[in-house]
Each structure stands twice: as C-alpha cells, then as structure tokens.
Structure 1
C-alpha cells in the first residue's frame, strides 16, 4: 500500500534555502601534508591507503599534497562512510550521497555500478569515470573497457574519494573524473582485531561478512570475505549471488611501506530485462527476460610500495594485474520492454580481459621553505581481451553447442608520462600539469556471422569480409590549477583541464537486437573550467560552491528509433537505437555543498556526540551545440540533483542516518524521444546501528521509505526498457567487533 502524498516541494525549498542562506564565500587553510598511505589523524587502529589522504570527518577536503600526488588547484569530494551506519548490498545512492553531481543510475539487480557526472555521457557501467580501489584501477581495462562491474563491500570501505572531471590527469584520461574506494586498514598497532556481520532483508536477501587483521607493529596482515545472495526486487530472474574476498600482507617500515594484495570477486545475476512505460506503471516488479543471465569474475593481485627517500623526496610504485571474465546468456529476438518469447534460443557471449600495468611516481619539494613541489610519473598498461559468441541449440542450452557466431581478438597497449609543478607564492599556489598518452588498440574479427561488426567492418557472412581495425594515437593533455587562501577560513580554487575518452573495444559492435552501430567512431575530448570557493564562516559550518563549464567534443551516444535506413545504417524500429558520435555538447552549472554540525563537536551544544547535516546541490544546463543531436539535451543530464544526509554520530559507536535524494527530469536518448523520457523522483532512506554489549551491535534500515515509484535508467533494444527502482524494502543486521 502506498503512503499518502508528501509535500516534497516545500522540503526541497527548505533544503535549498539552507544551502544558499550563508554568503557563498568559502575556504579553508591548507591541510597538513602527509604521506600517501598515511593520515593526518587516526580513528581506531586502522589507516587506509589512498589517493586522497583525509583522516576523518573534520578533515574531508583535499590536502594540498599527499605522497607523490598534488591536490592544490583541484576540486574534489569525499564521502566518509564511517560516519553513517554500514551500507549493505550495493546501495550507492546512500554511499555516495556526499558527492555533489555524481549521478547514480540504479540497476535493480545490483550487478554493476552505473555512474555519470555532469551529463558527460550515458552512465551505463560507468564508462566515463575511472574506477579505482586503493588507487589501483578496478575495471577490466582502464582505457578500452572501463566498465564498473566491481564494487567492493561497502561495509569495508572507509571512504569514497572523487576528483572532479578532467582535473584528474594524474590518474587517467577519463573526462568524467576518478572515483576511488578506500578500503580499511592496515592495522599499525601490535595486536589482532576482527569483525563479523550478518544481514537479512527483503526478497530473501542474506549477507555475511567476516574480517580479521593482525600486526606486530611492523609486519601486518588482514583479510575479509563477504557472501551475499537474494531474490532481488523483480518477481522473475532478479536473483543474485556474490562472493568477495581479499587478503593482504604489509611491511610497515619507518621510511618504506609495502602492501601485497590479492582480490577475488565473483557474481552471478539474473537479468530481468526492461519494461515499457505502460508495463512498469502496471507492475514495477514485472520482468521481460526470464532466462537472461550474467556472470562476472575478477582475480587481481597488486603490489604497492611507498618510499620516503628523505624529507623532500617521496617515491611510489604500483604494479597490478587482473583477469576479468564477463559471461552473459541472452535470449535472441527480444524487443524493447516486451516479454521475450520463451522458445527463443540462448546466445552466449564470453569476454576475457587479461590486463597488467606499472605506475611509478616521484615527488620532490624545493625552494627555501620547500614551498614548491614537482611530481612526475610514468604508466605502462597492456591488455588482451578476446571475445567469443556462440549460439545455443535451444532455450536451455547455455553452452552454445549450436556453433560459433563471432570471434574477435582485441588488444591494447598504452604508455603515459605525466607531471605537475606546485609553485607556492605566499597564499597563492599555481599548479600547471600535463599528461602525454601513446595508445595502440587492435580489434580483429576472425568470424562474424551477421551479428554486427566488432571492428567497423561490414558484418560478415560465412564468406563475407571480416573487420580489422588498428588505431594508434598520441594524445597530449594539460591542465592548470590555482588556489588562493584569502584568510584562514576562505579559500578560492580554479582549474582548467583537458580530458580524453579513448575509443572502446566495443565501439562499432552490437550483439543486441534492435541496436545498430556506426562503422567508425572518433575519440571524445573534454575541456573543463571550474572555479570555486571553500569557507568556514564559523566552526560548525562549512560551505563549498563552484561554477563549471564543460565543452565535450564528439560525444559517443545513441539516437533512438524509429529511424529509417540511411547508409551505412539499417532501419531501426521503435525502442531501438543507433550508436554513434552524436556531436559536441556544452554543459554548465553550479555545485553547492553545506556541512553543518547541529549538535557537537563545535555546534550549538558542544559534546562528544554529533548531529551532522550535509546537503549538496548541482544545477545543470546541458545542450548539444552541433552534430546529429544539435539542439537536444544530452541523456542523463538532470536539471538538478539534490542530496541531504542527517547523521547522528555517537561517541560510543552509535550511528543513524536519514538520506534524501531528489533527481530532476532526465532524457534517456540523445535525440530526446519521448519513449525514453525519465521523470524526476525523490527517495528517502533511513538506517541505524547501535552498540549493545560485548562488542555486538544491532542495525536496521528501510530503503525507499516512502515507496516512491520511479525509474533511474532506460536501455534501448532487445531486453531493454525501463529499469524500475526498487520498492520500499528493509534490512536488519547483527554485528560484532573485537
């Protein structure tokens, strides 16, 4: 039963007034410089390896520099997960609520992260954002297939860090920015600690987590394992089963630290398919694909070394490898939002990614007071990624015994050199930077029986021409940032940077019914200008505000059907799409954020307990300025994105949070076809965790408290349609730490 309507507009107006009420002057004195993998202060016994070093809630802005990285002249955001109750499952809507403008396009079965930023492209699988775990890429291929298939257990994440847009030149070229999941640990004090948590919830959800960490003060080790399964919010084929594990060993020397990690993840998910708008409004728990499945598996060893050579010099080294498998089974012949005929055969697709990389960096301080710094680095990256497509003999044949349909061999190599210089002149810091990429990408078809070309060549028949594409590019990128500390409580920051989105392995390929793809694609470039300020008018109040403008060239998107045949494309029916470069766009807007301690530690009632309010708002104006989509609004560029979190942080470990999310209207296709329109929505989530005795805690939560009916994403083609947001659901948990 739905609850009575709630007057959201007055709520929104009040929240906006809260943000805008103080004079939007902002700033903060520069944060202390601490080494990468260290923190300015600690909570408990663990510290986290991080690309952005901030220790606790009172220090959740970027330091000027950390380890071999320079953050002066950049704008970024941090969500400190230790300040809210543990987030079970994959509720990124709650976990990322403190990051302004980061859009979570919710996937009902939780199989991957779909994130986008400032309307810079479709959020599907987070293609336009670089996803990192402890500063190391956590995607199949950071250049050619940067899909967000892996999300670490959020209960084991200390905080999530985000560098905005193209200013993340030191991490990679992606124009949408870099997001880093910072895991807990290692333990630095001698001793042993452990924790466990059991969670149950709606739709037979069950989740167990156990972790242990030990140290003698110099040698440390830790590990965790999480298992989760459930039936999911849709009635048919929405189930999931996941196992995530990590084991690490650490050497914690005075001047050198080293960490060897081994990560494993496997997930199996039902794919219930999309719904037409009519079917979704009739029953949001309905499904359209009863047999579609996906399997994801990741094995990733990494080595990280941090060396404090002397007081002025630091060196870091990262070596990483991953084997990622993505295997899917889809019934042939589906259509947009409709039930796929049960008799249709299964098409099996397997993509395998073997990826390796080495990242070396050094930072040197110089000048009379060490007020200047230079950092330089190199990255070598390689991948090998074959793809296999096979046809099943029936709707029960998941092995593809009827024969091969497509084979393609894909590979890529990248060498990058990058650097920045921080020049300090009193209260002003100027930070120019550069990145030079040399990329080679090859995709060669050896078999193509009419499913669409993986390389831009014409689809083959048994005797047809097969595609063969090899691209080599040298791409210079650049940026400059400036900070000015006008006072101890007022800082101005500005940044201008150029980003780059390389061609993807699947540009020019489609294995989905109703989707056509261009024969050739051009790489996309972004130029971002942003100016902001940070202020602390009084100790319990902090304000951030910025204006931004992004020019994005040669956006890769899709034009939705119905579309007539026009060379080199075939006809596309209603609900289908053509994937291609759709044109240049101009996105501009404002980001506002307020952090306010209503009660303690320095609020109205000083004390050890804290009642904390954080609110952020992005207002976005986005348009295509030329190309086939000229005059249209880019997909997934809502006019507003508002989040507010009211959190209680108790001195004895009590946590409670109420999270409000409001998303404006969105277009689901770059030519704004009405069939893909996504109306705006508002969602409220509530949770708590409370200590009881002997290290035990109890927790509970309700997601979508007001049972809002909405959809945050829509996909074209067979099996596509609207993916409805989950109805109101609950969870309860019991935890232990000792």
Structure 2
C-alpha cells in the first residue's frame, strides 16, 4: 500500500524538529567582500550607499568579480524576495525575468526555454543555462539540452545577461541564464532548514539542509526528494537529489570551494496528442509505457585568489557524468491496439572543463579581464528495438537489427565527442560619467562522430565525421551615467551556435552514398540600446530597443531533385531578423515613503514586444514569414507584498501572444484530423498565487495555487502533436529552521 503523504509529512516535521538535523536555506547568504559588489571600479563601499544597493536588487554589478557587465543588459531575481518556489515551478522562478519564454510540459524531465524568437524552445537548445558559471547542458557543444534543473530551494538568485553574453560565457546565442547557488550561513557554526509539502496529484516534496561557518571553514549540505502522480496516467515522477559545498579560506586573500551536485530523476511520459484529442480530453494518455530516466553528477573545484586590491583570479575546474535513458513508443489512442515494440535509448555524457578569469583594475575606474576556457565531452549514443513494452532501462542486446521489423536488437550506435576552447579579453575605460567596453573572444570547436550501427531502414553510409570550426567574436559597449542614478547602455556583440552532433551526423536522416551533412555554424549579431535606473525611492525601470540578426540557420531539408526517396540533408537554410522593445518596471509603494522599511508592497511588470521575420531563405515560400515560436508579445505582471520574517505573498500572471509553431506558418496535416495541428499556438494568460507565513521565527507555513483560473492551454507543440499544459494545481506545507 502506498504510504500517505500526510503521514509522511507529519513524521518528517516531528522528526526534524526533535533532533534538529534539518538543513539550512538561509535568506542571509554570505556576501563577498564589499569591493566585489562595487558598482564603480574604484573602491566604493556599496553596502553604505543605499541608492546603489537598491539598484543592485535588479541589476548585476557593473564588475561582477571577473565579469564586466556594464553596457550589457542584465537583470536579476533574488529568490529571498519571492515566496518559496515549490515543485520546480519554473513559471514562479522566472516570474520577474523579462522576455524569457517557457514552453511547458507536465512532467519535469526537460526544461524548455527560448528568447526573442531565436530557435525552438525544445530542451533550451538556444539558451545558455549555467549554475555558478558552469554549463548545465547535457553536452555544452554537441548536445546543448537541459534535462536537469536545480531545485529553486538551492538557489539565491537568477541572473540574465542579454547582448554580449556570448563574449562572457561562450556558445549559444543570447541570453545566458546563470543560476547562483545559496552560500553557507556566515554567522553560525550550525543552521538548519527543513521544508515539507503536499499537494494535488499526490505531490509530496521534502527539502532538508544544514550549513554553517566555523573559523576558516564553511559548509552546506542538502538532500531532497519529490514525487507526484501527475495529471495524466503515466505522468508520475520522482526526484532524489543532494548537494554538498565545502569551503576553506586560509587567509583573507584566498578561498577554495568544493561543490557536488547529484540528481536522479524518473518520470513517465504520457505522450503528446492531436489537436482533436486535446479538445476532446486533454487528460488522454497516448504513450502509457514510455519512461525517462535521468542521472547527473557533477563535481567542481573553485579557487578565488586576490593578489592585491586591484588583481583577482577565479579558476573553476569541473567534471561530471549524465545519463539520459528512455523507453519510447509510437503514440496511440485506445481502442487502437498498442504498438508491438518499444525503443530503448541510452545517451551518456562524460564531461569536464576549466574556466580561469583574471581581473585587474588599473588607473582610475578602469578594469581589464582576461580568461581561458576548455571543455571536453564523450557522448556515446545507442538505441535498441525491443518487443517487451515494459522492458527495463538497462536491457541490452548485442546484434544489430537487419530489418525494420526485427526486435530485440541494436538499432543504433554512435561514438561521439566534442572539444571546445576559448580565450577572451575585455576592458572597461572610464572618463567622467562615460564608459566604453571593447571585447574580443576567439573560439574553437571540434565535433567527432564514429557510427558502427545505423537504423536498418536507412540506406546511407555509416557516419564517420569530424569537423572543426574557429570563430572570432567581437563586441563593443558604450554608456553614460546621467541625472540621479540613471544610466544609458548600448552594446553590439557577435555570437554563434556551434554545430551539434545531429547537424553533422544525424542518425535518423537518409543521405545518398558519399553525401554528408556539412553546414556552417549559425552566427548572431545583436544590437541593444537602453536606459535603466532608480531615479527615486522605490522605483526601478529598464527599457531598451534591440535587434538580433541570425544568419545561416541550420535545418533538415529534402536533398533535391534526383535524390533517393526521403533523402534529407542538413543545410544552412536562411537568415532571420528579430527586433523589438523590452521594458521592465518595479515600484515599491512602501519603500517609496521609507527606504529603510521592513515592509514592501510592489507592483512589477515587464513586456517584450517582438517583430521577427525571415529576410532570406532557401525556401522562397518562407520569405517574410514569422520564425517559429516568436510571439508578438510576452508580458508578465504581478503584486508582491512582504514583510521580513513575517509573510510573503505574490500574485503573478504571464500572457503570451499567439505564435506559429513552424517556419512555414501553416498548419500541420490540414486534411488529417488524427494528426492536424493549427498553424498558431493560441494566446494564453496564466495566473499564479503563492505565499509564505511565519507563525514563529522558526516555523513557516507555505501554500500556493498555480493556474488559478484553470486555463486550458498548450505552448509545447510539434509537427504532429501537442502537449497540454498543467491544469490548476495547489500545494500546502510547512518549514522549520534553526
């Protein structure tokens, strides 16, 4: 019999309260020395300058350690200002992040982000996502997908960097999303936090953390578990994870830290459905036997060395392992018979990297950064065709499939690897209220594929490909401080998207004998001009105009006249232009009257207006079309009412305009009701409500409702199927800290 979530919650709460072994999620994350957070490059005590401190609640510091972000559009969300984010609710996590589009799915096996209509949001392939400056992608170069996302309880803030992010962090077009982990409690040797929640669809989640600082050492450790039955049959999921941080400060000029992250996720996959099925019953399950298993382990060592007040070196070295295993099947709707076979897949990544950055402050207000980055990944990719629809994830078969109908055999085997190296430099020059930032980055990628087994239905040669690209990137930024705490910024930066494994050696496409996939990398040139500031107490604003030119988009296309049937080839298909407006405003009515208040009532809103179109294309029919997943507007707004250590309440909504899901701007299978998908994803607005309430200094109650109006919607769609969004759900729980 399945244990009761309520009983589990009560037992855990009592246990942790009695023995005080709970873990800490403190809202007083230990700060770096004040000079790290200085907005000016000369020595300024920001902590003593209240107006600048307010500005840093919304923007990254102009020199953030060895990162120069002045003249680049940035924004941050500090999680201690939001109610607790439960069940990896990314809509809540990004509620105040302008312009970032989330393509949602009910099961937590993937993270789907997009920005300014550049690329498909599927698995966030066109957005760089980092944790503490280290890539979260499965394979940073060859397979840049996000299948594991840190628990919000482990994070202190979300940073977003737009134009120029490629010059700071490397591949993938802007933006970069950097998730900053919480730091150990600085003022005690032992602090603890335990959080336990139950909710709709048999949700049960527990998060437990301890941390502290003693002498020259600090530490943080947490364990967490989450499970849910999901909204549909076979929509269940379970996550087990742990994080460990150990820090050592031998003297005031040096700091060493060791960090370990572990995630073990299993989810069902209830499947996608036709539009007709969605209208009839959005809780239909079309793949009752599909499963996804994800494991990721990562270990990193960071050294922060200050040679003097002007010079700082930060070096990160990391290694890790990720395994994406799945059991998939052809979708069907009862009473149709189930497919006779399923497909097992195992995608393994063994990766490691190094990133070293040197900052040197010179003259009056100037600073220079120099850095190097290296990365390597081995990523074998295998598939098997299996007759048993409930076969386990570790089932393996040796012989290769000789015919498409054969079962219990190996369908595909590719050995893959990627290498990446970069060197970069930036300098900020200041004179009076003006600042100029030139940037340069030189990058090199190598992708290698050696295929020994290919799908039996393909007549092409085995893939044996190795490609190398060398890419120089340049950027320049310019800005001016004016009035009272206002600043203009202007930035022009290059970026690019490296070729992936599938671009040069797709295992699923058919090509003629001797024919190869050899597209050029996709290149990006972004322009951004804006102004931001907090000219009066309680008010922050940031508005900008942008244009992003994307050239050499990579797509799979028919090989052309005379080619074998179903022969496709990956080519550079055309160029797109993305331009628009992005604005953000936050007004705190109570802080406007008293900047030192402990109570805050703020109204926040942000909007991204987008005009995107194809400027050139190999397919004349697409010329002038809107690129897929480029909504005309994306708006967020809400109310945030909080009092320190008393309560937090947030009401937020996100509204997304209708958008085409494919570049042709046409519906899919218009004459086939079983596969028909409308040309546009419908407009939808979603509302969420959440809150925390302290009944004592140590005990907090948590509650919330997602999709408050129970809107029926979808925003994740493919050429022959859609995935429904999540219906109204709710949670309630409590936390204990000491």
Q: Please, what TM-score do these two structures have when normalized by structure 1?
A: 0.86
Please identify, of 522-531 and 149-158, the stretch whose mean Cα deviation from structure 2 is larger. 149-158
Please identify, of 671-680 and 582-591, the stretch whose mean Cα deviation from structure 2 is larger. 671-680
SS in 2 for 1:170: helix
Shift in Å, 1:441: 0.9
Question: Paired residue for 2:248?
Answer: 251
Question: Paired residue for 2:376?
Answer: 382
Aligned equivalents of 1:55, 1:129: Cα separation in 2: 29
Shift in Å, 1:557: 4.8
SS in 2 for 1:82: helix
Question: Paired residue for 2:83?
Answer: 85
Contact 1:194 / 1:211 at 8 angstroms: preserved in 2? yes
Gaps of 5+ in 2: 1-35, 398-407, 668-676
Q: Residue 636 of structure 1: which of 618, 629, 634 is its match?
A: 629
Shift in Å, 1:237: 1.2
Shift in Å, 1:340: 7.9
Aligned equivalents of 1:135, 1:112: Cα separation in 2: 20
Question: Paired residue for 2:609?
Answer: 619
Contact 1:347 / 1:391 at 8 angstroms: preserved in 2? yes
Shift in Å, 1:537: 3.5
Aligned equivalents of 1:58, 1:392: Cα separation in 2: 55
Question: Paired residue for 1:713?
Answer: 716
Aligned equivalents of 1:547, 1:212: Cα separation in 2: 45
1:511-549 deviations in whole A, cap 9, x for unaligned? 779999994433101000000001323212121100000
Contact 1:495 / 1:530 at 8 angstroms: preserved in 2? yes
Contact 1:166 / 1:497 at 8 angstroms: preserved in 2? yes
Aligned equivalents of 1:396, 1:352: Cα separation in 2: 22
Q: Residue 543 of structure 1: which of 541, 544, 558 is its match?
A: 541
Aligned equivalents of 2:584, 2:87: Cα separation in 1: 27
Question: Paired residue for 2:237?
Answer: 240
Question: Paired residue for 1:736?
Answer: 736
Aligned equivalents of 1:490, 1:357: Cα separation in 2: 39
Aligned equivalents of 1:592, 1:294: Cα separation in 2: 38
SS in 1 for 2:289: coil
Shift in Å, 1:353: 0.6
SS in 1 for 2:591: coil
Aligned equivalents of 1:567, 1:195: Cα separation in 2: 67
CA change 1:136–1:339 in 2 (3 A) is: farther
Shift in Å, 1:287: 2.0
Matched residue pairs, number?
670
Aligned equivalents of 1:504, 1:426: Cα separation in 2: 45
Contact 2:154 / 2:181 at 8 angstroms: preserved in 1? yes
CA change 1:581–1:328 in 2 (3 A) is: farther
CA change 1:34–1:484 in 2 (3 A) is: closer
1:185-212 deviations in whole A, cap 9, x for unaligned? 1222242101001111111111110000
The alignment's C-alpha RMSD in Å is 2.8
Question: Paired residue for 2:38?
Answer: 32
SS in 1 for 2:535: strand
Question: Paired residue for 2:271?
Answer: 273
SS in 2 for 1:289: coil
Q: Please, what TM-score do these two structures have when normalized by structure 2?
A: 0.86
Contact 1:39 / 1:55 at 8 angstroms: preserved in 2? no
Contact 1:345 / 1:391 at 8 angstroms: preserved in 2? yes
Question: Paired residue for 1:495?
Answer: 491
Question: Paired residue for 2:388?
Answer: 394
Aligned equivalents of 2:237, 2:316: Cα separation in 1: 33
CA change 1:39–1:716 in 2 (3 A) is: farther
Aligned equivalents of 1:82, 1:340: Cα separation in 2: 50
Please identify, of 517-526 and 699-708, the stretch whose mean Cα deviation from structure 2 is larger. 517-526
Shift in Å, 1:484: 0.5
Aligned equivalents of 1:39, 1:283: Cα separation in 2: 59
Contact 1:153 / 1:244 at 8 angstroms: preserved in 2? no
Question: Paired residue for 1:222?
Answer: 220
Shift in Å, 1:184: 0.9
Q: 1:679-694, aligned counterparts within 5 Å?
A: 679-693=682-696
Shift in Å, 1:695: 0.5
Question: Paired residue for 2:418?
Answer: 412
- Please state if 1:481 is matched with 2:484: no
CA change 1:351–1:566 in 2 (3 A) is: farther
Question: Paired residue for 1:294?
Answer: 292
CA change 1:339–1:257 in 2 (3 A) is: farther
SS in 1 for 2:191: strand
- Please state if 1:442 is matched with 2:463: no
Aligned equivalents of 2:461, 2:705: Cα separation in 1: 55
Contact 1:280 / 1:724 at 8 angstroms: preserved in 2? yes
CA change 1:248–1:340 in 2 (3 A) is: farther
Q: Residue 312 of structure 1: which of 297, 310, 334 is its match?
A: 310
CA change 1:567–1:206 in 2 (3 A) is: farther
Question: Paired residue for 1:17?
Answer: none
Gaps of 5+ in 1: 1-29, 43-53, 452-458
Contact 1:547 / 1:591 at 8 angstroms: preserved in 2? yes
CA change 1:341–1:100 in 2 (3 A) is: farther
Aligned equivalents of 1:579, 1:204: Cα separation in 2: 44
1:383-424 deviations in whole A, cap 9, x for unaligned? 111111111133233425411111111011111100101111
- Please state if 1:657 is matched with 2:660: no
